[in-house]
Amino acid sequence: MRRVIVRRSPVHGKGVFAMRPLAAGERVLEYKGEITAWRDALRRHRREGVAGHTFLFGLSDGRVIDGSRGGNSARWLNHACTPNCETIEDGGRIFIYTLRPVDSGEELFIDYLLAIDDAGDEEARAQYGCACASPECRRSMLAVAA
Ligand SMILES: [Zn+2]
């Protein structure tokens, strides 16, 4: 039985929802897509008019997985500041795991923890604003600067 389905999200655009109850620590999805350099992905998205940032997942080596190319339903995961899923990098691949038990029909969220070159850029900050319902919302999808 399928674990998840993509449908319209009350939070933003499309979202990923559990089709059955999920246990904590369950591997739900792999974040698939073309692996490329940040710069190339951003340039391409700008050129093609893709609402880019939410389809890019950063790898620890500085490259990104571009979910808009050869991506799967994981690219529709929405951001939340207190998510119910986490992302774990394993051998250059990204897997989505549940952090806690999830009910059937619940939307799955990850913390994007986006890192951008210039975090002081006001325009970028606005573009990556967060309005999730969490009381701990930090108003941004960007990683907190160390
Ligand atoms: Zn938030």
The residues spanned by each domain of the chain are: 33-71
- Which candidate, 37, 26, 107, places its Cα nearest to that of 66? 37
**Ligand 1 center from residue 81 Cα (angstroms):** 4
**Ligand 1 center from residue 77 Cα (angstroms):** 14
| Separation between Cα atoms, residue 30 and residue 123, nearest integer Å | 31
**Ligand 1 center from residue 53 Cα (angstroms):** 16
What is the model's pTM? 0.85
Q: How many CB atoms lie within 10 A of CB 46?
A: 10
**Ligand 1 center from residue 54 Cα (angstroms):** 14
Q: Work out whether strand 27-31 and strand 34-37 pair parallel, antiparallel, or are unpaired.
A: unpaired
**Ligand 1 center from residue 112 Cα (angstroms):** 10
User: pLDDT by residue for the chain (146 residues), tens digit each?
Assistant: 689 999 999 888 899 999 999 999 999 999 999 999 988 887 887 788 765 456 888 888 989 899 988 999 999 999 999 999 999 999 989 999 999 999 999 999 998 877 666 656 677 677 778 888 889 998 888 876 54
- Which candidate, 108, 102, 95, places its Cα nearest to that of 24? 102
